[in-house]
């Protein structure tokens, strides 16, 4: 393991995701951020972890559902207080979760332990939804799993879902097709992504009165950034702060 416990510690000053997503890290309390939606959540979480630790913040990463194990990263199994303190001192961040012994994946901590994590860090990043890597999804009745003490919800959509059949790009594609009143063979349009993002039955579900942000990932697969810009503009008309970019390239923008 490297000294930082992360493979990607270089953070470009002009491409700070936390700034473009207007995440305030200056207040004295722990900021709790939950991530929902399609594929790219874990990559966004660790991008923000790199940026926030570089800014001198102590960060804990956890989940309320399941996320892939990251063996090369500092980890506090079952939310061990001793291990959390040790990892934060040494690396500036840590994963903290239980382990599903059958799948090997990380899974949620008991609610009392989950909330206690805020006592140890400046920022708590929570993967609160699953998508099995698909870029698009509409949540089922039990999703997402957003803790009550969450301050900000960031919804993620992959722009590689545009103009492709719903049956190929959506997690639980039948649910997405029913929501959009389309068939599995119909393609996902920019208007569909906007509908999913704005709806309280879609990506906005469970946000309540919390701050809500949207990140459109994989803009690098588009021939032109115009569809991403237009989606962001339309979301702004609905009062939603959105940005687009590429986690792979480490780039993020939002229309002014």
Residue with the bigger pLDDT between 244 and 15: it is 244
The per-residue pLDDT for 74 is 98
Has residue 127 been placed in a domain? yes
> pLDDT for 222-231, tens place per residue?
999 999 999 9
Has residue 6 been placed in a domain? no
Has residue 193 been placed in a domain? yes
Mean pLDDT, residues 229-247 taken together = 96
Query: Residue holding tokens 């700034």?
Result: 19
Radius of gyration of the chain (CA): 18
Quote the mean pLDDT of the chain: 93
Has residue 97 been placed in a domain? no
> pLDDT for 132-188, tens place per residue?
999 999 999 999 999 999 999 999 999 999 999 999 999 999 999 999 999 999 999
pTM (predicted TM-score): 0.93
> pLDDT for 10-35, tens place per residue?
444 457 999 999 998 767 789 999 99
Number of domains in the chain: 1
The per-residue pLDDT for 157 is 97
Has residue 186 been placed in a domain? yes
User: Among 199, 218, 223, 211, which Cα is nearest to 156's?
Assistant: 218
CATH code: domain of residue 216: 3.40.50
pLDDT at 81 over 90: yes
User: Among 204, 247, 250, 242, which Cα is nearest to 20's?
Assistant: 242
Structural element, H or E, at residue 91: helix 81-91
* Largest separation between any pair of C-alpha atoms in the chain: 52
Has residue 65 been placed in a domain? no
Contact 172, 133 (CB under 8 A): no
Has residue 206 been placed in a domain? yes
Has residue 183 been placed in a domain? yes
User: Taking the CA of residue 13 as centre, how many other CA atoms within 13 Å lie in the half-sphere pointing to its CB?
Assistant: 0
User: Among 37, 61, 59, 15, which Cα is nearest to 214's?
Assistant: 37
The per-residue pLDDT for 256 is 65
Mean pLDDT, residues 187-200 taken together = 98
> pLDDT for 110-128, tens place per residue?
999 999 999 999 999 999 9
The per-residue pLDDT for 239 is 95
The per-residue pLDDT for 6 is 40
The per-residue pLDDT for 255 is 75
DSSP 202-248: TTTTT-TTSEEEEEEE-GGGSS-SHHHHHHHHHHHHTT-EEEEEETT
- Name the residue range of residue 247's domain: 17-57+122-253
> pLDDT for 49-79, tens place per residue?
999 999 999 999 999 999 999 999 999 999 9
**Euclidean distance between CA atoms 181 and 254, whole angstroms:** 30
Contact 74, 1 (CB under 8 A): yes
């Amino acid at each position: 393991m490297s000294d930082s416990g992360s493979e990607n510690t270089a953070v470009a000053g002009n491409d700070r995701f936390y700034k473009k997503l207007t995440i305030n890290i200056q207040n004295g309390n722990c900021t709790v951020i939950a991530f929902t939606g399609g594929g790219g959540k874990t990559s966004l979480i660790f991008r923000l972890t790199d940026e926030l630790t570089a800014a001198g913040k102590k960060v804990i990463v956890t989940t309320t559902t399941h996320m892939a194990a990251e063996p090369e990263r500092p980890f506090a199994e079952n939310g061990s207080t001793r291990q959390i303190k040790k990892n934060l001192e040494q690396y500036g961040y840590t994963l903290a979760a239980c382990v599903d012994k059958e799948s090997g994946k990380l899974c949620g901590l008991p609610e009392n332990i989950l909330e206690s994590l805020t006592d140890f860090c400046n920022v708590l990043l929570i993967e609160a939804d699953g998508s099995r890597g698909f870029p698009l999804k509409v949540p089922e009745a039990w999703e997402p799993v957003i803790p009550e003490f969450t301050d900000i919800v960031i919804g993620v959509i992959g722009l590689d879902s545009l103009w492709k059949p719903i049956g190929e790009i959506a997690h639980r594609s039948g649910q997405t097709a029913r929501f959009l009143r389309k068939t599995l063979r119909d393609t996902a349009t920019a208007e569909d992504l906007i509908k999913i993002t704005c709806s309280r039955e879609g990506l906005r579900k469970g946000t309540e009165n919390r701050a809500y942000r949207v990140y459109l990932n994989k803009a690098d697969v588009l021939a032109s950034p115009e569809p991403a810009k237009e989606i962001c503009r339309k979301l702004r008309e609905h009062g939603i702060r959105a940005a687009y970019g590429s986690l792979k390239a480490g780039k993020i923008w939002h229309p002014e």
